[in-house]
């Protein structure tokens, strides 16, 4: 008696992504994340030093499953980056990490290394 053959692996399809010649890169140093049950909205903004206003540079909307896949890909790539270049240290001066995005140089409190000013 022969064993039933395992299910064949699905054939992987390779997708080609076209990169438009006029596509401009976007720099962002702030991200805002909102969500509904059906979608995750990522707003990427740019805030310049000592400027009280920023500009929204791009908005990306994706399904929750694609956001989770992006999270996994970012986690893996950050781990690879840290393995190659060393640990990325986050500022610890503020209780809410988002507050660090809006901290201006010269504010009282702590510096980027977490040391007290003065």
- Please state, in angstroms and as integers, the Cα–Cα distance from residue 48 to each residue in 28, 30, 52, 90, following that order: 10, 10, 8, 19
In a domain, 50, yes or no: yes
Number of compact structural domains in the chain: 1
**Domain membership of residue 45 as a residue range:** 30-102
What is the tens place of the pLDDT at every residue in 51-104? 889 999 999 999 999 999 999 999 999 999 999 999 999 877 666 656 656 554
In a domain, 109, yes or no: no
In a domain, 113, yes or no: no
In a domain, 115, yes or no: no
In a domain, 47, yes or no: yes
In a domain, 2, yes or no: no
Q: What is d(CA 111, CA 107) in angstroms, rounded to the nearest whole number?
A: 9
pTM attached to this predicted model: 0.67
In a domain, 73, yes or no: yes
What is the tens place of the pLDDT at every residue in 43-66? 999 999 888 899 999 999 999 999
In a domain, 24, yes or no: no
């Amino acid at each position: 008696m022969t064993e039933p053959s395992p299910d064949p692996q699905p054939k992987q399809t390779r997708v080609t992504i076209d990169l438009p010649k006029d596509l401009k890169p976007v720099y962002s140093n702030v991200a805002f994340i909102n969500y509904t049950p059906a979608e995750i909205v990522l707003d990427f903004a740019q805030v310049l030093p000592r400027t009280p206003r920023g500009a929204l540079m791009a908005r990306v909307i994706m399904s929750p499953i694609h956001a989770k896949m992006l999270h996994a890909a970012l986690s893996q790539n950050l781990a690879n980056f840290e393995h190659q270049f060393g640990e990325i240290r986050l500022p610890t001066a503020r209780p809410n990490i988002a507050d660090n995005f809006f901290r201006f140089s010269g504010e009282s409190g702590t510096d980027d290394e977490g040391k007290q000013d003065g």
